[in-house]
A and B are shown apart, each in its own frame.
Chain A
Amino acid sequence: MTENDALAAIIAGCQRGQREAQRELFERTNRQVFRIAARLVGETDADDVAQQVYLQVFQKIGQFAGKSAFGTWLYRVTVNEARQRLRIANRHRTAELKDDVSRTDRDLDEPVVLRELLQRALESVDSDLKIIFLLRETEGMTYCEIANVLEISSGTVASRLSRARHELQNQLKELGWCG
């Protein structure tokens, strides 16, 4: 049995409401769901987002007709759920982020962990740009795959990714990155 056949069998089991199949699907995919959720909304909220993702997946899996790859559909549900959470949380995060940047300015003489700089920079850019950057750089998706997940054109993926890189580089420079 190929990997695709195995996944199809698990999905069929989930469509019949089989708990073992649901658990199997969860075990196969929760790492990627949690990873993208945590990178988008932070680790504190990622658990909740991941749980909401799987609730939606199991509620709607009966409607999954296989027209797109299951992985694409799962990413789409995860990104949409994370966006929902970001919309709710973002208004009150802006004030906190400004404080973070000013603390960084004072600490420029101290050694700074580069990946923390990138995490801070990611918090500062528009969430749509952040999502596209992460899907490309950390999930390794092609423009076509990203376009399918986000339901936009490949051309839009290309232009937004270019903007994301430009804005992240600007943010990193403001945070003291000399690269």
Chain B
Amino acid sequence: MRCEDAQNLLSAHFDGELPSEVAATVTEHLAECAECRQRVEAMRELSELAAHLPEPAASDTLWDKFATKLDSTAVQTPSIAKRITISFTRRTLGLAAIAVTLLVIVGWLFMGHRHEGHDHQGMAAVFEKFIERFARNPSDAHALMLSTYENRLVDDDEAAQVLKRPLVTPPTLLGDCRVVSRHVLKMPCCACIETVYAQQGKTRLVIFEHESEQATWFGKRPQVRTECAGKPCSLIELPHGLATTWGVNKGCVTVFGAQDLKEVEQLVGEIGQ
């Protein structure tokens, strides 16, 4: 066997993945070729290094954190009808069957609903709920958007393609808030990118990149128009913190989760740079 041919097979031979006849040929070659033996020895040393890589250990609280998220995304049962546990006797079988059928129809009408074609009042109602949930648990608010609007998890490149312009939200904000997910949401106003940032494992900021200003999202809450980091912004007060929106790079950004005006200044300064 030529050395060049053997070298292409050394890795698979090392792993015992060659057919036996080919493996035998490579073994014969190794008996005669010091260079190829050296290459195999290097693989063995690399393998030994890998064997000593530290074993990362999950925290003991991983399930607890996850269970909270699981509750908020309501993945347990896909249909309202399946949640109903009915115990009945033979005499009530017919009535129970009718009841289940009715529940299935009601569940079909309301479950997995999409708000395509809803007007801005519909979006205002959704954001009203979003703001309420954000105050209790930002993860819940994010889950609401995913359950309300048709959506898709995207990476940076796909998100930019959806927006038809570069993303303005960077991988990190405020020093230690990092992107955990980006989804494209098909909302009545436009296809919008929702980016979730986490700080120390907890959802901290939810940021929407969208085409035009959406005054309805803040509902009837008093809005303050001011200048932050040199840009005109609208702000509303949330139960805990602030939400703000401003124009960036031919589009708009709306941020939920800034703790105070100082953070708003910092966010407006970092986003779009």
Contact = CB atoms under 8 A, between A and B. Distances in A.
Interface in A16-64: 17, 19, 22-23, 26-27, 30-31, 34-35, 38-39, 43, 45-48, 50-52, 54-55, 58-59, 62
B20 interface: no
Given A22-B70, A92-B172, A161-B15, A52 B181 contact: yes
Contacts of A87: 155-157
A41 to B, nearest CB: 10
A51 B65 contact: yes
Interface string B68-110: 0110010111100010000000000000000000000000000
B12 A138 contact: no
B153 to A, nearest CB: 7
Contacts, number: 127
Contacts of B12: 143, 158, 161-162
Interface stretch (A71-79, A100-108, A111-119): A111-119
Nearest to B47: A137
B2 interface: no
Interface string A106-145: 0000000011011100000000000001101110001100
A154 B65 CA distance: 38
Contact of A30 (B55, B62, B82, B153): B62
Contacts of A55: 66, 69-70, 73, 75
Contacts of B53: 39, 115, 118-119, 138
Contacts of B58: 30-31, 34, 46-47, 50
Nearest to B56: A38
B76 A19 contact: yes
A162 B42 CA distance: 12
Interface residues of A, number: 52
Contact of B63 (A27, A89, A117): A27
A92 B171 contact: yes
Contacts of B49: 114-115, 117-118, 172, 179
Interface string B147-182: 000000101110000000000001110000011111
18 contacts: A17-B77, A35-B56, A47-B59, A48-B180, A51-B65, A87-B155, A88-B156, A89-B179, A114-B52, A134-B50, A137-B51, A161-B11, A161-B12, A161-B15, A162-B10, A168-B46, A172-B46, A179-B45
Interface of B: 8, 10-12, 15, 17, 42-43, 45-47, 49-59, 62-63, 65-67, 69-70, 73, 75-78, 82, 153, 155-157, 170-172, 178-182, 198, 201
